[in-house]
């Protein structure tokens, strides 16, 4: 797991009272975190001090906090301004969208689109987003 998320800012979903109980999202590193837990202050909507997993001990410490889900950003140290991959997270909201979702999955299967796309690191976040949107709008049209 560490090789995939090493140096990437994390948003955690924590379940302190167990899986069946309430959960919460955590972006900021707690003030009481050990000194060896690395972090980076990032964000457009107010500064968040994101935890950066850089060693196994940090993952063990996060597990001890009942962090069950790790949502990693698509950037990593040292350059947080350049995304290096894109993920399509296809989750139909409810059964009313099941037909559209099925059509999309079949189109992906038929025409081929990787659900995990890497890119060259010369693009900043805004240009990368724009290029992805353009590519997708040119690739897919529904009638």
Kindly give the parts of the chain with pLDDT less than 70: 45-46, 88-97, 108-143
Q: Would you list the DSSP string of 85-99?
A: EEE-----SSGGGHH
Say how far apart CA 75 and CA 8 lie, in whole Å. Answer: 6
Residue 85: the pLDDT is: 80
CB atoms within 10 A of CB 85: 13
Residue 133: the pLDDT is: 61
Strand-strand pairing, 24-26 and 10-14 = antiparallel
H/E stretch holding 117 reads strand 116-118
For the entire predicted model, the pTM comes to 0.68
Q: What's the number of CA atoms in the CB half-sphere (13 Å) around residue 34?
A: 10
Residue 113: the pLDDT is: 57
Residue 128: the pLDDT is: 65
Residue 91: the pLDDT is: 65
Q: Which residues pair with 51 in a beta bridge?
A: 10, 39
Residue 51: the pLDDT is: 96
């Amino acid at each position: 797991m560490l090789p995939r998320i090493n140096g990437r800012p994390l948003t955690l979903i924590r379940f302190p009272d167990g899986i069946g109980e309430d959960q919460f999202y955590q972006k900021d590193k707690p003030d009481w975190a050990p000194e060896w837990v690395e972090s980076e202050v990032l964000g457009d909507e107010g500064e968040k001090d994101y935890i950066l997993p850089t060693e196994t001990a940090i993952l063990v410490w996060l597990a001890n906090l009942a962090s069950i889900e790790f949502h990693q950003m698509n950037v990593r140290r040292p350059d947080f301004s350049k995304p290096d991959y894109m993920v399509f997270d296809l989750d139909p909201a409810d059964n009313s969208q099941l037909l559209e979702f099925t059509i999309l999955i079949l189109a992906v299967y038929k025409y081929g689109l990787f659900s995990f796309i890497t890119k060259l690191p010369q693009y900043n976040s805004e240009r990368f987003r724009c290029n992805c949107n353009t590519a997708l709008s040119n690739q897919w049209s529904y009638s």
